[in-house]
Amino acid sequence: MNALFNHPAMQSLVLPPLMTWLAVWLLRRAAGPRWAPLGAALGLLAALALLPGFDWPALSRVQKLPWAVLGATLVSATWLALASAPVGSRLRGVVLSALLTVAALGLAAMGALGGSLLLAQLALMVAATTAALGLWVWWRPASGLRVPLAALLPGLVAALLIASSLFGAPGSTSASGEDDVYYSPQWK
């Protein structure tokens, strides 16, 4: 059972949407449809608590990711508390969720093809939680849920940090534009 729980597919594709759906359902029952979209951030936080975990001091970018998502979740909760009731179309939130999901899936593919399976797995967590929220709103219009931009902020912050980790890694050229022999040796 422990091997199944520690499998990367379970950690990135099964647990995050389950935790998101549970958090959305609990928030909807306890606080109403206005707060329910924050369940995606709570599902992502729960998934990040399992992998990579909340380590302190956070020295690497991967260790900083859960803390940044926690901070973005607090900003989102404040934003939702200060904002008026969500206005606009229900489908706008579904489209924004879908766009963030597709972007996170692209980051996962780039991470897997670039050799960083951990970053790919973290990007899949972001994609799974935002997809779970978007699917809830799309399939259950009677629930009264709308996805404000504030609810997607933690996923967006996570995606941006993952992208900066993917694209900020040392590449084949140095800052001066010359070939870097350490990262891309020139065989003669």
Q: Is residue 184 part of a domain?
A: no
CA distance 176 to 171: 12
State pLDDT tens for residues 89-142: 778 889 999 999 999 999 999 999 987 889 999 999 999 999 999 999 898 887
Residue 151 near residue 37, CB atoms below 8 Å: yes
- The residues of the chain scoring below 70 in pLDDT are 1, 85-88, 169-188
- Burial track 161-171 (b if 16+ CB lie within 10 A, e otherwise): bbbebbeeeee
Largest CA distance in the chain: 67
Give the per-residue pLDDT at 188.
44
Take residue 179 and report the two structure tokens written for it. Answer: 């070939």
Give the per-residue pLDDT at 173.
43
Q: Is residue 101 part of a domain?
A: yes
CA distance 129 to 5: 18
Residue 155 near residue 40, CB atoms below 8 Å: yes
For the chain, the domain total comes to 1
Expressed as residue numbers, the domain containing 53 is: 2-58+79-167
Q: How far is the first Cα of the chain from the last one, in angstroms, to the nearest whole number?
A: 52
Q: Is residue 69 part of a domain?
A: no
Q: Is residue 182 part of a domain?
A: no
Q: Per the omega criterion (within 30 degrees of 0), is the bond before 17 cis?
A: no
Give, in order, the Cα–Cα distances in Å from 71 to each of 74, 118, 120, 135, 155.
Answer: 5, 22, 22, 25, 12
Give the per-residue pLDDT at 170.
57
Q: Is residue 178 part of a domain?
A: no
User: Angle of helix 149-167 relative to helix 90-113, nearest 10 degrees?
Assistant: 20
